[in-house]
Chains A and B, each alone.
Chain A
């Protein structure tokens, strides 16, 4: 019996995995965000509703995200840069994965810190050099983990969290994106 308490209800996740194996349609989720332009390069995006397990659902509360650009971009810096939201997504997704995998493997975590760095050549978005891409050149995530586990087990936790990460996959593999005018 495991006495590990990382606060992840792994049993519920494992049960869901079994149920959804036989019900792929219930596994189809749609995540949504709704954005409004403020002024300049500042916009506000809200997130509350999503679809999943066959019906419309809602987070307990609405979350509001301000996106802008720093003053060096001649902007007002009302919020973080959109590309920084990708780092938020990646760090939180991998961290959630580390906690879940640790729980499943009976590893007690004491602290998990992730430092994320995305290197970005902005000549791409400025159109200054057509050979430079718009997005990150690369991203580096450095975990510092204190847990009842060997260094090898911690390496394995981090490796497994990438293997099951939605954001890691979304960033490392191409996704078909449609942008249209309503």
Chain B
């Protein structure tokens, strides 16, 4: 032991790369770090695949079909390639990957702080505090997820106390809700899935939606995500996307993974008896006020879907194999009600529960490095946090490609982020 080391330096553990989070993205990074022979550790506050085990509702399945669900050298190998894994199965799939890649995961270890430190000998890095002690890391990869905290509008406080409010983190299934009407807020995959499930439980359901992404579950006989994958739309890179900020803020597509492979767009919900209303804009005197722009957001979604299907068809004309026999199809426009309600009295008893499917954000409270923008988003270019050398991120929307947040999207991103990280450790940049 060198006498020049400080007492603090002597006591704590060192690693070259520290990965925060043992979800699919963090473990994919670990796999490539291991492959590159880089000494590293993966810290996990709970268990491997924790959010899939603890922060998802009971009926949730992946949006991606099983044949597409894969991590580096770890494809789905079960009996149902066209099915969709349940949240529990996803957690087990990720657990299997961690075991197969012998990832150096330390579970039950919560990171409480990461800050940049200089050791005065030209070896800068990060001091990582955890509830199990401190670690010095030359580099840190943030893989703690994009959906740590539900985002709920500020006017939630103006709702009458008689209305129960839930986020998807509190929601397990319809049985957990009181009887009576439900107002589901948000037209993302979460919003449409919960609205459908609650409507099927017999409750009256109103769905408030702003801009949303409409997709059919299958197109010309194939899963729509087969098209996203095959046509290359999903591989579109962060530096090729027209409006990256918009792409990163897009709500998840209106999809659900069910054995029937059924479409769950607004038309399907209207068929079930769900009442669509515009974006929830404000609460005034105990009344919810909805935007009168529902027709416009539906027409934007219809047009964007058509444009995407045009892209698929064009690709198919050029490249698709002869197996693709089904002809191009087009879907009926969204059947927007002739007069959607603009307000709803929340004191009248019609609505007993409000479910906020209004999105999620990452939790960076533990990150004591000034790399967040004014809106609290991490400033990065393709996962490289340039303002703080040695700091990286994975698993964020359109991190390096459109597919970044999907399970199979982790591989390419993780490989490239690790390439950069290896270069950094080697002093190349």
Residues of A participating in the B interface, judged by any CB pair closer than 8 Å: 138, 152, 155-156, 159-160, 162-163, 168-169, 171-174
Contacts and interface: CB of A to CB of B under 8 A. Distances in A.
A127 B186 CA distance: 36
Nearest to B338: A138
B282 interface: yes
B300 A172 contact: no
Interface string B298-320: 01100100110000000000000
Contact of B303 (A156, A168, A169, A172): A156
Given A138-B339, A152-B306, A172 B292 contact: yes
A72 to B, nearest CB: 26
A159 B300 contact: yes
Given A138-B339, A152-B306, A172 B299 contact: no
Contacts of B296: 159, 162-163, 168
A155 B302 CA distance: 10
B135 interface: no
Contacts of A138: 292, 339
A173 B339 contact: no
Contacts of A163: 211, 296, 300
Contact of A173 (B211, B281, B306, B307): B281
A172 B278 contact: yes
A174 B303 contact: no
A143 B299 CA distance: 15
Contacts of B291: 172-173
B63 interface: no
A171 B292 contact: yes
B293 A174 contact: no
Interface in B313-372: 339
A155 B293 contact: no
Interface of B: 211, 278-279, 281-282, 284, 289, 291-293, 296, 299-300, 303, 306-307, 339
A160 B281 CA distance: 20
A159 B303 contact: yes
A129 B164 CA distance: 34
Nearest to A139: B292
29 contacts: A138-B339, A152-B303, A152-B306, A152-B307, A155-B299, A155-B303, A156-B303, A156-B307, A159-B296, A159-B299, A159-B300, A159-B303, A160-B300, A162-B293, A162-B296, A163-B211, A163-B296, A168-B293, A168-B296, A172-B278, A172-B291, A172-B292, A172-B293, A173-B279, A173-B282, A173-B293, A174-B281, A174-B282, A174-B289
Given A163-B300, A168-B293, A173-B291, 8 more contacts: A138-B292, A155-B303, A156-B307, A159-B300, A169-B293, A172-B292, A173-B279, A173-B293
Nearest to A168: B293
A160 B304 CA distance: 11
A172 B293 CA distance: 6
Contacts of B303: 152, 155-156, 159
Nearest to A21: B245
A68 B306 CA distance: 46
Contacts of A160: 300
Contacts of B300: 159-160, 163
B336 to A, nearest CB: 12
